[in-house]
């Protein structure tokens, strides 16, 4: 666009190789850091998971959020959840596994995985600011049945810094979708988490294997530094 100064190029220490990116064409995408996944009484716990395992990702994700805001990156938050009438929830998803409480059932944070309920909210440490897009998604991938592609293309985004939960489910599905759409994806390892630690490690290993077949993996400290560093 005429009159827009060129974005300075930043260098990010990542695996399998360092990566150059420009703040103006880079977005931070924070996947599903919702109470339903991170707090007791929500969807994650209903599936038999120890939700305390996800807490470690909050502080690194908050550091990423602060750094991205300072650097002027587009910040996109996603939330997994369904309409109150469950019209966008496939019966096969509702019935999956042997949960103690199913999607749409009443729980300690309102109806489980339903938009508008307390459990659907993003945790307070990562609350979106006005103007930051919040993408509500019915599936695991953030591109499926959402307007994320339009949000990114309107800003000419080329590179995604991705964090959130869970590493091997919604983070991985979104990165795979994004990779196929031509985005360069950097998964911020310590700002992601899984209920199953071995799956977190395997998920990260799969991203960066084979020369970065799905993208890159970096630590939040390196990414914050590449974004200009400094305190929140």
Reduced to 3 states (helix: H, G, I; strand: E, B; else coil), residue 80 is strand
- Subset of 23-62 contacting ligand C5J (CB under 6 A): 32, 37
Q: Let me know the angle formed at the C-alpha of 75 by 72 and 79, rounded to the nearest 5 degrees.
A: 170
Q: What is the DSSP letter of 16?
A: S
Choice between 15 and 45, CB closer to ligand C5J: 45
Query: Residue 231: exposed, middle, or buried by beta-carbon count in 10 A (0-12, 13-18, 19+)?
Result: exposed
Q: Let me know the angle formed at the C-alpha of 84 by 121 and 102, rounded to the nearest 5 degrees.
A: 80
Active site residue 185: no
Q: Which stretch binds ligand C5J (CB under 6 A): 122-130, 162-170, 175-183, 224-232?
A: 162-170
Dihedral angle sign, alpha carbons of residues 12, 142, 200, 16: negative
80, 117, 136, 190: residue in contact with ligand C5J (rule CB under 6 A): 80
Task: Please pick, among 121, 136, 137, 192, the residue that the annotation labels catalytic.
Answer: 137
Q: Say how many C-beta atoms besides its own lie within 10 A of residue 211's C-beta.
A: 7
Task: Please pick, among 32, 36, 136, 190, the residue that the annotation labels catalytic.
Answer: 32
Active site residue 190: no
Q: Which stretch binds ligand C5J (CB under 6 A): 14-22, 144-152, 164-172, 209-217?
A: 164-172
Active site residue 93: no
Choice between 148 and 170, CB closer to ligand C5J: 170
Residues annotated as catalytic (active site), given as ranges = 32, 137, 170
- Please report, as ranges, the residues that interact with ligand C5J according to CB under 6 A: 32, 37, 80, 140, 165-166, 169-170
């Amino acid at each position: 666009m005429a009159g827009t100064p060129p974005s300075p190029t930043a260098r990010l220490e990542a695996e399998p190789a360092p990566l150059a990116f420009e703040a103006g064409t880079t977005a931070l995408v924070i996947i599903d850091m919702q109470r339903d996944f991170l707090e007791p009484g929500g969807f994650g716990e209903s599936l038999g998971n120890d939700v305390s395992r996800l807490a470690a990702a909050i502080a690194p994700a908050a550091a990423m959020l602060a750094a991205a805001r300072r650097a002027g990156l587009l910040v996109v938050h996603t939330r997994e959840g369904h309409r109150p009438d469950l019209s966008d929830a496939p019966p096969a998803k509702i019935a999956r596994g042997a949960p103690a409480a199913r999607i749409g059932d009443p729980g300690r944070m309102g109806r489980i995985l339903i938009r508008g309920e307390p459990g659907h909210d993003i945790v307070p440490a990562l609350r979106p600011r006005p103007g930051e897009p919040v993408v509500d998604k019915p599936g695991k991938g953030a591109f499926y049945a959402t307007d994320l592609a339009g949000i990114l293309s309107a800003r000419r985004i080329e590179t995604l810094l991705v964090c959130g939960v869970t590493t091997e489910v919604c983070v991985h599905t979104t990165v795979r979708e994004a990779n196929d759409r031509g985005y360069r994806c950097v998964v911020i390892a310590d700002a992601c988490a899984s209920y199953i630690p071995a799956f977190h490690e395997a998920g990260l290993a799969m991203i960066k294997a084979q020369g970065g077949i799905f993208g890159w993996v970096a630590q939040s400290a390196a990414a914050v530094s590449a974004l200009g560093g400094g305190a929140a």
